[in-house]
Structure 1
Amino acid sequence: KEADLTAAVSQKIELGGKREIRMRRARAANEGARLHRDLVVRDLEVKTKKAFVRLLAAQREVDLASRAAKEMKNAARALREKVSKGASPEADSNRGELALELSGIRLQRAQSGLIIARQALLTLWNEDGYRKLKATGSLALASTNLPGLGELLKKVDAHPILGVEKAKVEEGSAAYALEKSRAVPDPTIGVGARHFNGIDESAFLISLSIPIPVADANQGNIRAAGARTNAARLSVRQTQLVLSERLRKAYQEYQSSCLEAKRFRNTVLPAARDSARSIRKGYRLGRFGVLDLLGALQVEIDSAQQAVEAVLSCRLSLIEIEGLTGDTYQSAASEMSREGEKS
Structure 2
Amino acid sequence: MTTPPPAPNRAGTPLPRPAWPAWLLSAALAGVWLPQAHAQADTNAPAQATPTITLAAAWDKALAANPGLQAARYGAAAAEGLVMQSQARPNPELSVNIEDTRPETRTNTVQINQLIELGGKREARMQLADTEKAAAEAGVTAALAALRYQLLVNFNELLLAQQRVDFAGQTHALATQALEAANKRVQAGKVPPLEASRAQVAQANAAMELEQARALTRVAQQNLAVLWGGRGAELGLASGDFLTTTAAPTAEQLDQRLDEAPAMLLAHRALAQSQAASAVERSKRVQDPTVSLGVKRARDVGRNQVFVGVSIPLPLFDRNAGNQLQALRKVDQAEQQLQDQRLQLQAQVFAARQQWLSSNQQVALLQSQVVPTAQSAYDLAVRGFSLGKFSFLDVLDAQRSLFDSRRQLLDQLMASHRARAEIERIFGTPALAAATGT
- TM-score (ref. length: structure 1): 0.89
Q: Aligned partners of 2:428 and 2:309: how far apart in 1?
A: 60
Work out whether 1:116 is the aligned partner of 2:219. Answer: yes
Aligned residue for 1:315? Answer: 417
2:149 equivalent to 1:43: no
Distance 1:223 1:16, change over 3 A: same
1:279 equivalent in alignment to 2:381: yes
Aligned to 1:223: 325
**Greater displacement, 287-296 / 230-239:** 230-239
Q: What corresponds to 2:279 in structure 1? A: 177
Q: 1:4 and 2:110 equivalent?
A: no
CA 1:315–1:330: 2 relative to 1, 3 Å: farther
SS of residue in 1 equivalent to 2:390: coil
Which aligned pairs between 1:205-216 and structure 2 lie closer than 5 A?
Answer: 205-216=307-318
Partners of 1:215 and 1:40 in 2: CA distance: 45
CA positional deviation for 1:132: 5.2
Deviation at 1:328, TM superposition (A): 4.9
| Residue of 62, 79, 85 corresponding to 2:165 | 62
CA-to-aligned-CA distance 1:56-112 (integer Å, 9 cap, x gap): 111001110111012112212221221232201233223212322322332233223
Q: Give the equivalent residue in structure 2 for 1:152.
A: 254
Determine if the alignment matches structure 1 residue 264 to structure 2 residue 366: yes
Match of 2:136 among 22, 33, 49: 33
Tell me the C-alpha RMSD between the 2 structures.
2.3
The answer to whether the Cα contact below 8 Å between 1:265 and 1:307 also exists between their aligned partners in 2 is: yes
Moved more, 235-244 or 30-39: 235-244
- Cα pair distance change 1:210/1:330, threshold 3 Å: closer
Q: Distance in 1 between matches of 2:205 and 2:318?
A: 78
Letter aligned with residue 288 of structure 2: D
- 1:203 correspondence with 2:305: yes
The residue aligned with 1:341 is none
* Segment drifting more, 89-98 vs 73-82: 89-98
Q: Is the 8 A contact 1:135 1:335 kept in 2?
A: no
In structure 1, C-alpha distance between the alignment counterparts of 2:198 and 2:434, rounded to whole Å? 43
Q: For residues 297 and 332 of structure 1, do their structure 2 counterparts lie closer, same or farther at Cα, with a shift above 3 Å needed?
A: farther
**Gap change, CA 1:132 and 1:195, over 3 Å in 2:** closer
Matched residues, number: 335
Cα distance change of structure 1 residues 78 and 266 upon mapping to structure 2, 3 Å threshold? same
What amino acid sits opposite 1:210 in the alignment?
Answer: I
Deviations 1:254-298 (A, max 9, x none): 000011001111111222222222232222222222222222222
1:192-245, Cα deviation, whole Å (9 max, x unpaired):
333343333333312111111222222232233333333333332332222222
Contact 2:223 2:232 in 1 (8 A): no
Shift, 1:45, TM fit:
1.5
Could you tell me which amino acid in structure 2 is paired with residue 313 of structure 1?
Answer: A
Structure 2 equivalent of residue 140 of structure 1 = 243
Q: 1:36 and 1:331, CA in 2 relative to 1: closer, same or farther beyond 3 A? A: closer
Provide the residue aligned with 2:402 in structure 1.
Answer: 300
Contact 2:284 / 2:320 at 8 angstroms: preserved in 1? yes
* 1:339 corresponding residue in structure 2: none
Contact 2:218 2:232 in 1 (8 A): no
Matched AA of 1:321: I
| 8 Å Cα contact 2:158-2:221 kept in structure 1 | yes
For 1:186 and 1:250, how far apart are their aligned partners in 2? 55
CA distance in 2, matches of 1:331, 1:170: 35
Q: Which has the higher contact order (CA 8 A, sep 6+)?
A: 1
TM-score calculated relative to the size of structure 2: 0.71
Distance 2:232 2:224 in 1: 11
| 2-structure distance, mates of 1:239, 1:103 | 48
Query: In structure 2, the residue corresponding to 1:135 is in which secondary structure?
Result: strand
CA contact 1:18–1:178 (8 Å) conserved in 2: yes
Cα contact 1:187–1:211 (8 A) shared by 2: yes
- The match for 2:75 is none
Q: 1:211 to 1:108 in 2, by over 3 A?
A: same
What is the percent sequence identity of the aligned residues?
A: 27
Q: 2-side partners of 1:248 and 1:194: how far apart?
A: 77
2:156 partner letter? V
Q: Pick from 189, 214, 232: which aligns with 1:86?
A: 189
CA distance in structure 1 between the partners assigned to 2:384 and 2:197 by the alignment: 21
Cα distance between partner residues in 1 of 2:171 and 2:357: 30
SS of 1:193's equivalent in the other structure is strand
Partner of 2:97: none
CA contact (8 A) 2:262 2:426 kept: no
Is 1:77–2:149 an aligned residue pair? no
